[in-house]
Structure 1
């Protein structure tokens, strides 16, 4: 069985809380089904946009943490979109943090405190259409461009830590030649198709809509045919020399631990740290878990 199929089969019927959803998600599902019957062309266009349009949380109290940054700045991508970045513990960052989808730099407060206590200088950014950055739509290529730009802008960065979708982007940036010496991942998917599959499961898309949006995603990433695995993290990393430390919770039902296990199988110098009872979102707030990651990643 292929890695992709192993990962897909691990999710079964997608009946975990993240896929069952809250009342607003259930209402959205119903609205999409009705709209698809009444106005299919309009619904397809709206869903195409929704797929790449992250939600932003306004007046988020976590954003207060940004005021503690030593440096705040911005950079422009090739598209002209301006993104914000922040540095803690100095001006020459050693470590770059990459947040997940619908997340942002301020969600890394616990990890930043753990790293700066060790005397490290830490940078993080708000990706396109996230946090305080500009833009309305985003994809993994935008995340990768942000990562590459930050490492180029700050030549002192030799370690990248990515959370969830940000970890997927970080691995692909390294596969594309990003010059760093250490990589840490937290609850990150390894199957690129799995990201689309999870969204489809959350929205309970019909097979017709799923097929349409699948072609939209493949076109956006310029992938041929059904070549989803091109951006899967387990593909083409057998010769990697960069040490990898992965942190994943056994009770993560949104990104199953098998996604990290598969990556560690094929990455030559990799270590998996398992936690329990934290889930997908709690792990990024757990100081003990993040300390274990930092200790292992920075051991040598």
Structure 2
């Protein structure tokens, strides 16, 4: 039954790719816009204010502004130690519901946000540079000393620190994060079967939009410039982001330690791992 459920998705993605490929010859601008749109538009992760998860109801909620965008934030108040949580793709702040109680045992203030086009934040597009601006808005307001990111949220944390070089950050935890943006693009290309012309248009659009080429957008490259302490954890059974991606980041980050897990998959939810994170943040 699972196989038959995948057939409509397969047909849809391949049909989108065929259309974009055809457009690349007759209307390159429209082709690049569509290829970019389908790459950056989340299909899941939205929340309704009428039915937000319990863990988020327990927080103080505040909306920050980033230009025309609303950034939904959640604060569990504690002492002057502050931790910022940055979720990943097609997710929202509730993904931290198992970790938040563990972190609050330290007495710290815990802060989380919904990323662009996720949770209760506004927008239709999710990309790392914009997400990093959201993170910067929260850091300027709350001034956390610690930051934890999962998956694309982890990649955002790496890019944020590379771009903004925040001296107030003392420690960063990265969970199941990709390193090389080109790998993400190539996976997308395979999924919808983009031809060479359409793929080049997509890469050109990214370069022009963010003033950095996909080949330079590298967590390994970003982390090699860091002085703050880091903890990187990645699961060998992660079927979303390759285990080798986590190793690349760890090998480049001189002041970071690497934890190899098994059986957690991409979610990285685990009591034992939470204890190691707690020890890294508060007891080292």
Q: What's the TM-score, normalizing by structure 2?
A: 0.86
Q: Does structure 2 retain, via aligned residues, the 8 Å contact 1:192–1:231?
A: yes
User: Map of 1:50-199 to 2, 5 A cutoff?
Assistant: 50-57=38-45, 63-69=53-59, 71-77=60-66, 79-90=67-78, 94-155=82-143, 157-176=144-163, 177-178=165-166, 179-199=168-188
1:52-92 per-residue CA deviation (whole Å, 9 max, x = no partner) reads 212234568773321111x1101000x31111000124385
Report if the CA contact (8 A) 1:126-1:133 is conserved.
yes
| Cα shift readout 1:127-159 (whole Å, capped 9, x = no counterpart) | 12111011112311111111111111013x100
Matched, 1:28 2:16: no
Of 248, 259, 265 in structure 2, the residue corresponding to residue 262 of structure 1 is 248
Q: For 1:189, what is the secondary structure of its paired residue?
A: coil
CA contact (8 A) 1:247 1:293 kept: no
Specify whether residues 50 and 278 from structure 1 end up closer, same or farther in structure 2 by C-alpha distance, changes over 3 A only: same
**Is the 1:273–1:293 contact (alpha carbons within 8 Å) kept by the matching residues of 2?**
no
Please give the secondary structure, in 2, of the residue aligned with 1:212. helix
* 2:263 matches 1:292: no
CA distance in 2, matches of 1:24, 1:290: 38
Note the C-alpha offset of 1:186. 0.3
Partner in structure 1 of residue 238 of structure 2: 252
Alignment of 1:225-236 (within 5 A): 227-235=213-221
8 Å Cα contact 2:148/2:173 also seen in 1: yes
Higher mean C-alpha displacement, 173-182 vs 190-199: 190-199
Distance apart, 1:260 and its partner CA? 1.4
Report the 3-state secondary structure (helix = DSSP H, G, I; strand = E; otherwise coil) of the residue aligned with 2:74. Answer: strand
For 2:134 and 2:238, the matched residues in 1 are separated by 27
Closer, same or farther: CA 270–119 of 1 in aligned 2, 3 Å: same
In 1: Cα distance, 2:52 partner to 2:193 partner: 31
SS of equivalent to 2:228: coil
Query: Unpaired runs of 5+ in structure 1?
Result: 1-20
Q: Partners of 2:85 and 2:148 in 1: how far apart?
A: 5
SS of the aligned residue for 2:133 comes to helix
Relative to structure 1, the CA distance from residue 286 to residue 236 in structure 2 (aligned partners, 3 Å threshold; closer, same or farther) is: closer
1:200/1:49 CA distance change after superposition, 3 Å: same
The aligned length equals: 273
For 2:227, what is the secondary structure of its paired residue?
A: coil
TM-score under structure 1 length normalisation: 0.82
CA RMSD of the aligned region, Å?
2.5
**1:296 shift after superposition:** 2.7
Match of 1:205 in 2: 194
Q: Tell me the distance in 1 between the aligned counterparts of 2:47 and 2:133.
A: 27
